[in-house]
Chain A
């Protein structure tokens, strides 16, 4: 094969060199030891690195995020069933009549309490059919309607230093039915995305208790676990607030 014209794609003979057998044995032994040491070092560094992996992946997600990139919408014929994925037991609907939304961390310095009727009459309602993606891997295309989070932010501006919103629901229960308040962190850039809704309707009807009546977050740029059902409080803060699933080993931003 060595004498034929090779061209760009023709194989070249591999480079060869000659060494003393003793030197070669020593070098082989050295390589084996080095490879073993390298493996141990790589595994040890991977172990210490593991807790920071989510942060790196979060930063990648934030770099990819663009407020101008719209999230794909679907036709009504593409709607798929959406299961009740309450983390624990589904709350008793008894909380709904007395439900109020509390806003804190506003520029005005006072907290604001709103009921569902005032939210629905003050703000225009937008419809969208988007995909909700769960961290577990399943997804559903669902038809939502609600007010834009951005409209609420304009009507009740947060304090100037605010970069985050802590989204809380006090009505969540754990699997045995005991109170287990749910809270997630959401960056204000995502809250301001035109397709981030405070949803009031699902499949053309008022939200039912399974899907977070009377008001839930719908942030399709985030994993489903950020889409808090039955929101009771929004708190605008400067520092990244606590997050239910980040405290349980999942990522902080969950941007998709």
Chain B
């Protein structure tokens, strides 16, 4: 990392200092936080896959039915486009189902998809409670709070990420900006927003699951149909977080 103030920690939570006979272990996350973090992998995967199967039964984004195929689902259109343009998929037998067959439990799976969705949704809420308990017990919540210096620091990180591939190509040094906090400003923004998105997913989920008992909750999001749109796009917040998150964990540690 090249920062004198923060020695780089190797692995998930350990740091080896060669002069000492033992290994110096730095406990960066409470055990409950680590468990809830990894449990999110199967839970979010299950929620997304079953969620797209549920979406199939009544797509939010529809157009007037195509005179030839009768298709009205924008997601099915994407599948049709993929099968028409991606080499090797020209002979796929049901192009409108391509997305649902590859990115969900499959078309026509509403009943099992709902069951899996409820199982994962209740697990997600319990897991969220475990995460909050771990944040409080380990004091980790302090590292997530937004700070005054976040905006300029975020620009420093963005500059670093944009310049990094160019510097690598030119074999130039491109030092990582130094911070004296657990996370840099971009990490903090992401790790603060994702739990917030989790809370919104749960709230919009209840609003569309129980729209009569929780009709005032649905009203906050603009009613039942609008809450479905919120819930759909919140899934994309998780996907758009997870993809760079995993890439950066491998690239940056």
Contact = CB atoms under 8 A, between A and B. Distances in A.
Same complex origin of A and B: yes
Interface of A: 1, 9-12, 14-21, 24, 35, 39, 42-43, 46, 49-51, 53-54, 56-57, 61, 64-66, 69, 71-72, 131, 133-139, 220-221, 248-251, 255-256
Contacts of B28: 14
A88 to B, nearest CB: 16
B23 A64 contact: no
A133 B213 CA distance: 13
Given A18-B20, A21-B22, A256-B212, A133 B224 contact: yes
Interface stretch (B109-117, B149-157, B160-168, B241-249): B109-117
B125 to A, nearest CB: 11
Contacts of B136: none
19 contacts: A1-B5, A9-B145, A11-B143, A18-B23, A19-B23, A24-B25, A39-B42, A46-B119, A54-B114, A57-B122, A64-B210, A131-B211, A135-B114, A137-B208, A139-B224, A221-B213, A251-B114, A255-B213, A256-B213
B118 interface: yes
A18 B213 contact: no
A7 to B, nearest CB: 10
Contacts of A12: 139, 142
Contact residues on B (Cβ < 8 Å of other chain), bracket: 35 or more
Given A131-B211, A135-B110, A250-B111, A11 B42 contact: no
Given A21-B16, A64-B210, A133-B212, 12 more contacts: A12-B142, A16-B25, A17-B24, A17-B25, A18-B25, A20-B23, A50-B116, A51-B115, A71-B212, A220-B212, A249-B115, A256-B213
Interface string B18-40: 00111111111000000000110
B64 interface: no
Contacts of A54: 114-115, 118
Nearest to B143: A11
A1 B209 CA distance: 47
Given A11-B142, A14-B27, A136 B57 contact: yes
Nearest to B17: A18
A97 B90 CA distance: 54
Interface in B83-122: 110-112, 114-116, 118-119, 122
B182 interface: yes
Contacts of A56: 118, 122
Contacts of B182: 11, 14
Contacts of A251: 114
A256 B210 contact: yes
B92 to A, nearest CB: 25
Contact of A42 (B14, B21, B42): B42
Contacts of A43: 42
Nearest to A250: B111
